Amino acid sequence: MLPALEAELKQKTLPDPYEVFMYHHLQYYGYFKVKFPRKKEATHSFPCPLADSFMLSSSLLRSRLFLHDDFGEVNPCLREPQDLFAFYSCSGQLQVPRWPIECEVIKESIHHIEGVPPQPEYFYQPTGNEKIPEIVGEEKGTIVYQLDSVPTKGSYFTSSRVGGKRGVIKELAVTLQGPEDNTLLFESRFESGNLQKAVKVDTYEYELTLRTDLYTNKHTQWFYFRVQNTRKDATYRFTIVNLLKPKSLYTIGMKPLMYSQLDANTYNIGWRREGNEIKYYKNNTDNGQQSFYCLTWTIQFPHDQDTCFFAHFYPYTYTDLQCYLMSVAKNPVQSQFCKLRTLCRSLAGNTVYLLTITNPSQTTQEAAAKKAVVLSARVHPGESNGSWIMKGFLDFILSNSPDAELLRDIFVFKVIPMLNPDGVIVGNYRCSLAGRDLNRHYKTILKESFPCIWHTRNMIKRLLEEREVLLYCDFHGHSRKNNIFLYGCNSHNRKYWLHERVFPFMLSKNVPDKFSFHSCNFKVQKCKEGTGRVVMWRMGILNSYTMESTFGGSTLGNKRDTHFTTEDLKSLGYHVCDTLLDFCDPDRTKFMQCLVELKELLQKEIYKKFNELGQDTDLERSWNDISFSDIESSTCGSDSSLSDGLPVQLLNIAHELHHKKKIYKKKKKKPLQTRKQRNEQYQKNNMIRELKSKEDALKRPGFASTMQKQPSFLKYSENVSSSTVKNERPRMNESQLNGRDKGISLDPSKATSYILTKNKERKQTEKPGFACSSKRSTNTGKEPDPDTKPYWSRNRFLATKRGHTTMAGYPSLHIYTFP
């Protein structure tokens, strides 16, 4: 025990009554069973100081709240309570990733430097003479690496723990017979690693089998593994034999990535594109169920006895994210406007982080006037390009740049940098530990099975109640197309015709050598109804996008036929911020110019489409009535276009929840909890009774002259209710109930519509500049009728920046949401 503590205990003569009570309390319930040695002269039954010391150091004390010193002794003071909503504790330790209990994990820590290639890395140019090796298999080859007990289809996730599988980690690599043995030593049991088996079929030739996504039998695309015991002058050939996609960027010049540990330590060289004789082809071996495809390439290692890594794309792990967020949390400046919170816990218990980025507002009105921007990444764990774009965005928005400060002044950014940490940790390509593609289940009601996306959707739903969400964007990777592009949703409201295309069109102008507007698509398909892009759009976010960044490179401008680097992707994160400023510029010149150019581009596409069909049309007369469904192609460019449905073990749970939800909706009646609510309900019911009585009175013969004055008004009120209330049912507040005309004969829904129109001028006179309530209806899936004008001012959100000139307001290009 510490000397100071011993001296303090020796000076103590009488025990603390509360401690004595707690000792007896713990002993009574069986949490402490040690009998204390007592002094002979003691006449009371209280434990002596020696007993206190013995108790604190006892291993039988089951509390985890006591602190330990460096010598293993107990320090008799409680730990600081855990902060339920904060990000990191004061200790600043990283949260160790949790793995499924079936996964073996090596103890080594894998870390890579971020080196930038000194020269552009050009695509591989096929010669047509590339060798197509015959698949030999383990019957004729030698297995040099193979994972055991990997969960596949038919099994499901049960539990997790830090470090994965219990017990001693097996040595899966072969044992070298001596210094002359040139067999490569493979390993992939580290974070984001993926390699199931390696078979040596010749001296320098290996066949590799990738591990499918856990608890599935498909989704083989992402690979990331380590090799050791290399030879410098030899030409090695690697062939991956169980890929599932019939098309790949490897067919048009994409190269694998290689990382040399010696080059990184000596020359500060990071990941680089390497490989020759690259060929992507169909595997002739057929298992009778599905076709496999092969990727083969040759490589010469730069050093003898080197440790090298191969990957499908630049890895970005869960630990990498935590290190970055820890640096933000410890930064005294950035932590003032970036709040790091826990959105939820994943299936395995890993933290899903939520960042709220905005400058503190001086007034509540200024805070309520801010619009929101929601960004997310890594819902597909094998698409690490999304994390690099997200890192570039965070680097800029957290900087001291004037543009970054302006964005933080006028927006509230909600950022989820890694939606699927479990999949990232275990090295999945597409799925979570539920064995399903999360980007097809945003409509799920299974909170416990899909916690990450359930809480994301719920967070955005609450956010829409507080403020308008200007933009939603989910960062992804694409395995079949080059360049970077967006998928959006066509607006059905002709008032905002082509508005959803303005942001990607501006982005293509700001990044002409990386972003391709021609590759963008805005078709909403039935198979994509469960994606984040479509679900958020139906919740009322007009500018709802999926950003697709290629695993390959660019075919545009100065970067034509070159691979993307991490710096290229991070620069796109900056350009997202830059384009956001252009998009919300109070001077609408850029916005209107983009609309004009978009109309011209679309007109050319329509003419081209009709010419292909051999039809003629007059676009000047029916321009706004043209449907885009037949013009745009399908967005089914992924290997998981169709949802696999729920796993078998979740079908009954989902059915029961749907059944309970229907019963709950029938029985649900909102309770009145306060006197104010009861008074409002009483006034509302009393008003309805008065209106009905007036209506009955007007039908009597004595009121014929009165009825002659009513038809025009009734016709007007019916038009208002049919155009507004049918889509949006505005909530009646107290001022509307007290200020209505009691001589009007209307039913409640028509009365509400009339009140909104009748009080338009009066409300704008009473509250100039802030006529919109901060609370918004969550039922924004249907947009307002274009003939119905909202009663608030369009430039209601005035962005006032400290130290900057006052902005006039946002352009009136966004969705109008009735309060």
Tokens representing residue 85 in the block: 């909503």
Distance between CA atoms of residues 123 and 560, nearest Å: 9
Distance between CA atoms of residues 550 and 294, nearest Å: 20
Range list of β-strands (E), 417-552:
469-478, 484-487, 543-550
Cβ atoms within 10 Å of 326's Cβ, excluding its own: 17
Of 19, 45, 64, residue with least CA distance to 35: 45
Concatenated DSSP letters for 228-284?
ES--SS--EEEEEEEE--S--GGGGT---EEEEHHHHHHH----EE--EEEEEEE-S
Helices vs. strands in the chain: H and E counts, helices first:
23, 24
Contact criterion met (CB below 8 Å) for 465 and 775:
yes
Distance between CA atoms of residues 261 and 268, nearest Å: 9
Distance between CA atoms of residues 474 and 400, nearest Å: 25
Taking each helix axis from N to C end, the angle separating 566-583 and 385-397, rounded to the nearest 10 degrees, works out to 50
Of 174, 181, 224, residue with least CA distance to 199: 174
* Tally of CA atoms within 13 A in the half-sphere of 135 that contains its CB: 19
Q: Phi, psi (5° rounding) for residue 56? A: -65, -30
Contact criterion met (CB below 8 Å) for 220 and 436:
no
Classify residue 309 as left (phi > 0), alpha (psi -120 to 50) or beta: beta
Taking each helix axis from N to C end, the angle separating 385-397 and 318-330, rounded to the nearest 10 degrees, works out to 10
Dihedral angle computed from the Cα positions of residues 274, 276, 277 and 282, in that order, rounded to the nearest 10 degrees: 0
Q: Which of 548, 605, 690, 734 is catalytic?
A: 548
Range list of β-strands (E), 286-426:
293-299, 308-311, 338-345, 351-357, 371-377, 411-416
Cβ atoms within 10 Å of 704's Cβ, excluding its own: 10
Q: Phi, psi (5° rounding) for residue 693? A: -65, -40
Mark whether 8 is an active-site residue.
Answer: no
Burial class (CB in 10 A: 0-12, 13-18, 19+), 407: buried
Annotated catalytic residues are 548
